[in-house]
Amino acid sequence: MRPIPLWLKSGRVQTGLVIIFILGICAIFAPYLAPNDPNEQNLLSILTPPVWIDGGDAMFPLGTDSLGRCVLSRLIFGARVALTVAFSASIGAMIIGAFFAHVAGYFGGWVDWVIGRVVEIWLSFPPVILSLILMVGLGTGLRNVVLAIILVDWTRFCRVLRSEVIVLRQRDYVSAAQLVGFSHWRTITREILPGTLPLLITLMSLEMGVAIIVEAILSFVGMSVGSETAAWGQMIADARQNIYEAPFNLIAPIFAIFFAVFGFNILGDGLRRTLDTRLTQTERS
């Protein structure tokens, strides 16, 4: 079992990784892959259809938007915003969520009570509403989008991981570590964290999908990155205005978001099936 990790053999994990790899290539090499400057306006050729439809222009393979900007180029550059948000927001939310989950689950008592109540307050806000309100307070920009998503979604990690920590805390090897005189910090990081890691990784993969959706929602209502940066949600908002003339402009970013979220979801599902030791054999098949 050592040489090839079990989780890498899963078709789901492989599918997810391939999708994320493709998106990653698009994001990193965007300036070389995009046929045009994503912000260049060609006011003489606005709302041209994709190249395979009559009237399409080979210069703009997926057509142009209402300002004559190349849809394909904006799509490719949009991957940058999406992936930046996906990775940084999920890592941030994971760190905060996992920290509080471990502290709450490990120490229990009033610490657990306080953290539990804070999570409860957070959950009484619908996530979309809370992130919008935070964006009003923080102001637009990529950094603030990431911050808003972290501030909203850390509870997802905290809630799920806390109960896992409580289970692990009662294991004999944890008591043994405490008896040997390990510090709390060392017990948590050396004995408990390795046990929660599979769940943590799975949650993170799912969170990346959530972060992409939230960013798309925020940029759809114009509360994300500024208008000079291409983002998928913005493309949707723009295409919504010309839905009859250029329906394809709407389909392209919808598909991009779906493709990215699907990649992270299928990766997360694959990881859950292979890493979670408590799943029954039938569930895993």
Partner 1 sequence: MRMFATIAKLLVKRVLTAIPILLLVSALLFCILRILPVDPAAMSLPPNATVQEVEAMRTEMGLNLPLYQQYGIWLNKLFHGDIGRSIHFRQDVTSLIGSTLPATIELALIAMVVATVFGLAGGLFLFYVRGTRAEAVMDFLSILLLSLPEFLWSLFLLLIFGVFFEVLPFTGRLSPGFERPVVTGFLLLDSLITGKISTFLNALQHMILPCLALGIALSPSLMRVLRSSLLDVYQDDYIQQARLRGLSEKRILIRHGLKNAILPTLSLMGVQFGFLFGGTLLVEIIYSYPGMGNLMVDAIRNADLPIIQGAGLTYCIAVLVISIVVDSLYMILNPKLRAR
CB-count burial class (<10 Å; 0-12, 13-18, 19+) for 170: exposed
Could you write out the DSSP letters of every residue in 48-110? Answer: PPPTTSTT--TTSTT-B-TT--BHHHHHHHHHHHHHHHHHHHHHHHHHHHHHHHHHHHHH-HH
Q: Using CB under 8 A, which of the segments 33-41, 46-54, 119-127, 172-180 binds partner 1?
A: 119-127
Give residues 127-156 in contact with partner 1 (rule: CB under 8 A): 127-129, 132-137, 139
Query: Quick one: which of 124, 170, 277, 281 contacts partner 1 (CB under 8 A)?
Result: 124
For residue 72, the minimal CB distance to partner 1 (Å) is 19
Phi then psi for 70, rounded to 5 degrees? -70, 120
For residue 237, the minimal CB distance to partner 1 (Å) is 9
Give residues 153-192 in contact with partner 1 (rule: CB under 8 A): none
Q: Is 114 in the site for partner 1 (CB under 8 A)?
A: no
Q: Is 52 in the site for partner 1 (CB under 8 A)?
A: no
Contacts of 63 (CB under 8 A, 6+ apart): 47, 48, 49, 50, 51, 56, 57, 71, 246, 248, 249
Selection from 254, 261, 259, 257 nearest residue 209 by Cα: 261
Q: Which is nearer to partner 1, 142 or 223 (CB)?
A: 223
Q: Is 247 in the site for partner 1 (CB under 8 A)?
A: yes
Q: Which is nearer to partner 1, 32 or 244 (CB)?
A: 244
Q: Which is nearer to partner 1, 36 or 205 (CB)?
A: 205
Q: Is 276 in the site for partner 1 (CB under 8 A)?
A: no
Phi then psi for 242, rounded to 5 degrees? -120, 45
Selection from 281, 250, 246 nearest residue 56 by Cα: 246
Point out which residues bind partner 1 (CB under 8 A). 120-121, 123-129, 132-137, 139, 209, 213, 216-217, 220-223, 236, 240, 243-244, 247, 250-251, 254, 257-258, 261-262, 265-266, 269, 282-283
